[in-house]
Amino acid sequence: MMRRKIGAGLRGRELRISVAFEATLVEPDGCPVPVQVLDVSSSGFRITCNAELVVDEEVELHLPRASPVRATVCWTRGSEAGGIFLDPAKVA
C-alpha cells in the first residue's frame, strides 16, 4: 500500500493520505459495490467504482480491518466519488 500525504497545503482542507486498497460500499438498498479507496482523512474518503453513486445518499463503507462506517456521498465525477464519514472509523 502506497502512502503519501496530500492536501496539507490547501487552506481549510484536512490532511489526506493517498492509499490504494479494495473495500466494499453498501448502497441504501443493501447492494454491495466493490470500490478502490484512493485517499482518506479523518473525516472522509475518495473512491473509484463502477456504480453510479448519488450525491447526498447515505452509504456504508466497509474498510479492511475496521468496523463498517456510515458516510454521505458528497460528490461524483466519472468513476470517482468522495464522501464524508458520519461516524468515526474504528480500526480492529
Predicted confidence at residue 3, as pLDDT, reads 46
- DSSP bridge partners of 22: 36
Grid coordinates of 77: 465525477
Per-residue pLDDT of 11-51, as tens digits, reads: 556 788 999 999 999 999 999 999 999 999 989 999 999 99
Q: Is the pLDDT of residue 74 over 80?
A: yes
> What is the rounded distance in angstroms from the CA atom of residue 1 to the CA atom of residue 19?
6
Q: Is the pLDDT of residue 69 over 90?
A: yes
Report the predicted TM-score, pTM, of the whole model to 2 decimal places.
0.80
Predicted confidence at residue 9, as pLDDT, reads 46
Residue 4, SS3 per DSSP: strand
Predicted confidence at residue 89, as pLDDT, reads 59
Predicted confidence at residue 87, as pLDDT, reads 81
